[in-house]
Chain A
């Protein structure tokens, strides 16, 4: 079996992996990206709509343009790239060296040995089974992301009469995309009383095309033997299906946009501890997982709304991997917990020596909310947020000075709440 040696191995060549690898290479360490597809860019490549890069490049780019900018930088740098290669296992570390087993039709089966690893595998879509839609199992049902791939990259249209379950961003984008492709999008059905996607997409992808959004509704049955023929839609009243008010919408295609899950099967098998709340790995203030020298960033860590934030977080992970390689990660770690109305906070540890950047998700919809950061009940920061909702990620950063107020506390524990 062929072996390759690097300072840092990055698993996944999407937005996260590219930013992280560049950061490592920039500091003079040797980085490699192992990517299963035949092009760098990941899911960005099928996101041909614009709206990417406002933070990063100060202009609106399409997904492929955003990816293209980064892949040019990758190829101009010394980062080694293995395309069409799948990491099958992160082996047990031999001393301080991690071993990745990679399979490829191009390079054969090979191992990448590296002192540090950055997980950047992204996320996957939840599917019908995960949300238990009853009914038949005909052709014509697929996740919105698969449909996006088929339409935007392969040029195939899965059907003409579309219903979309879930108002996640990919579903909203696909509502517009399918309409533009000559299909009729009959409805978007959302179980929650509020949309799952960001407001911009609700406006630009549904309202601009008069596509009805049914909030607090579920698909209660899929009908049709060979090909899907219709769905039954039932409104929820106080969270309970009001079956008498069920109505039927004819369709030949059902797209599912019912959430994304960090893709951590590889991490889990490698014994990396995962957070059951968000299914990403537990990471400390350096974005290092429970395994020494293995970092995580981007959607494999937690699902982001904007690729610009993925890039930012991944640079941090790359920079921390560099510090790790220099044996310069020394700050003592303290616990971070999710307070009231917070689903999760990433990272789950903080330290007193660096600027701390936290990402969190709300469990409530609220106007004029306050984000409160406390350490052992001492309020150290309060930020006003005009509007919070579960679909919009919230970021909070803390300066060293803000943290310095409470260094004398025993067993400091940082809690972030939304009130």
Chain B
């Protein structure tokens, strides 16, 4: 298969690049080693759209963060992913913290953060009543927000595919051969892909992809973050994303409301060696909760639904590395995309497009480009009267499969239709099994629907791709 552009990695960076490029007359392949998109770093993300005050403009990541932040309203209108500008705050408990708040404020103003303000104790408690009353002040940036990161990636990919991008899943790049005017990209299994331009958005594995293409040599340092998800019934659910003041003593723990009404505490930040180590530990659980309870006292371990860990693909120096390779021809590096990568992603898409232009890649706009995707029905979003209409139209929306998150059979069928055929894929697309029972009641129903809709047999249904089958045999 011959393409103009191959994008390696269907996380948020790759997906954003794919969607941006899908506006142009290009034949594009989006490649990922996993069974679904967004199954790497972008899955285990805090889901924060950062406000743009955490780092100075000298960093590329900061400039792209600010630009990216501004693009989300239009993207949401086009793609319909769950996103809300709830605002973010930084809270100070000591005098020294207040000095940091001043610094962050000045940096934010310098970066052009809209609406950023310093808050007195009274003001910060009014903005976020769940805070520990020992708080002495803080910073508020109303332009920050929260998003469902995987839903964002799913919608970017869906939009890209609608506009002609071809998705290659379970495609683990083994080898790349430079031919005249194009690369032959050979997977461990399956047919090779040929492309004139290659974009390396491989996240935690970007260094290995770079090596395979004989491009720059660098090292991605996985920095693990453990997070805990709390029940939507938790009395601690905040209005705002709450940051502690970054300090030398501790990297701190955030308290994060999710767009869908649950909440998270975390993440940790520990550099590790193993690129596949997403385990959680009990030491960190206690550390996170001790810290979080200092910020919001009503946070309780008894509200934990689940925990997870993600790996930030950090580079030395901490900045993004987005540039044309000087060693490999027509090869663009999109590496080191750690926080605020999610926020920056739409801007990364534009930035990469400009780099492609520099490489004389011909970009002419497609006449038929359609930025919108079809909205999905979510029963939880509707009143009973609206639901009545929906179910009259299509009865499968009346069958509630996931009681905790109110997901109907119709939504699962739709997820499968849109290519999410693993249990995790269905879960991230629909929220089936994401609630307090964690699939205790709905897993067997979801398996049955996946089997029926895909024709897979029981032992082919997986949690997240080959090797993660749920059922081994039958009686």
Q: Which residues of A contact B (CB under 8 A)?
A: 1, 36, 84, 86, 88-89, 101, 103-109, 111, 124-125, 127-130, 132, 134-140, 142-143, 145-146, 149-151, 154-160, 181, 220-222, 225-227, 252-253, 265, 268
Contacts of A106 in B (CB 8 A): 395, 398
Beta-carbon contact of A104 and B398 below 8 Å: yes
Contacts of B399 in A (CB 8 A): 84, 103-105
* Complex: A160 Cα to B471 Cα, angstroms: 10
Q: CA A252 – CA B473 in complex, angstroms?
A: 13
- The chain B residues found within 8 Å of chain A, CB to CB, are 228-229, 233, 276-282, 285, 301-302, 304-308, 379, 384-385, 387-388, 391-392, 395-400, 403-404, 406, 408-409, 436-441, 443-444, 448, 458, 462-475
Cβ A160 vs Cβ B443 within 8 A: no
Q: Can you report 20 A-B residue pairs in the complex whose CB atoms are below 8 A from each other?
A: A1-B384, A36-B403, A108-B392, A109-B391, A124-B440, A125-B440, A129-B305, A129-B306, A132-B282, A134-B285, A136-B278, A146-B443, A154-B444, A156-B475, A157-B473, A157-B474, A158-B470, A181-B475, A222-B279, A265-B436
**Interchain nearest-CB distance for B444 vs A (Å):** 6
Instruction: Given A146-B443, A156-B458, A157-B473, check contact A134 B279 (CB 8 Å).
Output: yes
Residues of A within 8 A of B400 (CB): 36, 86, 88, 103
Q: Which residue of A lies closest to B437 (CB)?
A: A124
Check B472–A137 contact: CB distance below 8 A: no
What DSSP secondary structure best describes chain B's contact surface? mixed
A139 touches B470 (CB 8 A): yes
**Which listed residue, A88, A101, A105, A146, touches B439 by the CB 8 Å rule?**
A146
- A317: min CB distance to chain B, Å: 22
Q: Which of A109, A128, A136 has the most chain B CB within a 10 Å cutoff?
A: A109
The CB with the most chain B CB atoms within 10 A, among A89, A103, A154, A268, is that of: A103
User: How far, in angstroms, from A181 to B391 measured CA to CA in the complex?
Assistant: 41
Are A138 and B468 in touch, CB under 8 angstroms? yes
Measured in the bound complex, the distance between the Cα atoms of B370 and A346 in whole Å is: 61
- B301 A159 Cβ-Cβ under 8 A: no
Neighbour of B391 across the interface among A105, A134, A253, A265, CB < 8 A: A105
List of A residues within 8 angstroms of B409 by Cβ: 105
* Chain A contact residues: helix, strand, loop or mixed: mixed
A227 touches B467 (CB 8 A): yes
Q: How far is the CB of A289 from chain B (nearest CB, A)?
A: 17
**Among B228, B438, B467, B469: residue with most chain A CB under 10 A:** B438
| Distance between Cα atoms of A6 and B314 in the complex (Å) | 62
The smallest beta-carbon distance between A313 and chain B, in angstroms, is: 23
Q: How far is the CB of A232 from chain B (nearest CB, A)?
A: 11
Q: Are A158 and B301 in contact (CB under 8 A)?
A: no
B448 cross-chain contacts in A, Cβ below 8 A: 154
Q: Complex Cα distance A105/B425, Å?
A: 24
Q: Note all chain B residues with C-beta closer than 8 A to A130.
A: 302, 304-305
Take A139-B469, A154-B444, A227-B467 as given contacts and tell me if A132 and B307 are in contact as well, using a CB distance cutoff of 8 Å: yes
A142-B384 contact, Cβ under 8 Å, with A103-B391, A108-B392, A127-B437: no
The answer to whether A146 touches B440 (Cβ under 8 A) is yes
User: Of residues A89, A105, A154, A221, which shows the largest number of chain B Cβ atoms within 10 Å of its Cβ?
Assistant: A105
With A105-B395, A157-B475, A265-B233 as contacts: A139 and B384 at CB distance below 8 Å: no
* Set A128, A151, A220: member contacting B438, Cβ < 8 A: A128
